């Protein structure tokens, strides 16, 4: 599977797919890292699922999705409070 999220450290890399699971954190796929450990990544950040319609329509003209910016703002709020 390929990591498609543009800001993920592994963006563009092809990883060894191990499994897919729906859990409390959402739709997740697992891959093996360089040490052979099983690691999770959101399925939406890979080519395992269809590309996000917003990204397709934006065609590179908009680097951020609104939902991602809201999630980032929430994360920053939690870390600074």
DSSP-assigned letters across all residues of 53-66:
HHHHHHTTS-S--H
| H or E segment and range at residue 19 | strand 16-23
Confidence of residue 35 (pLDDT cuts 50, 70, 90): very high
Other residues' Cβ atoms within 10 Å of the Cβ of residue 45: 20
% of the chain with per-residue pLDDT over 70: 100
Confidence of residue 11 (pLDDT cuts 50, 70, 90): very high
N residues, the chain: 81
pLDDT of residue 52: 74
> Both tokens of residue 70?
């809201």
Phi, psi torsion values for 78, nearest 5 degrees: -65, -35
Mean pLDDT score of the chain, rounded to an integer?
89
Rounded Cα distance between 6 and 33, Å, is 19
Would you list the domain boundaries of the chain?
1-49, 51-81
């Amino acid at each position: 599977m390929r990591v498609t999220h543009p800001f993920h450290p592994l963006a563009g890399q092809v990883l060894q797919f191990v499994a897919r699971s729906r859990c409390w954190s959402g739709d997740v796929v697992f891959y093996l890292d360089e040490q052979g450990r099983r690691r999770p990544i959101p399925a939406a950040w890979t080519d395992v699922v269809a590309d996000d319609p917003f990204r397709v329509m934006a065609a590179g003209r908009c680097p951020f999705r609104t939902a991602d910016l809201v999630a980032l703002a929430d994360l920053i709020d939690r870390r600074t409070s």
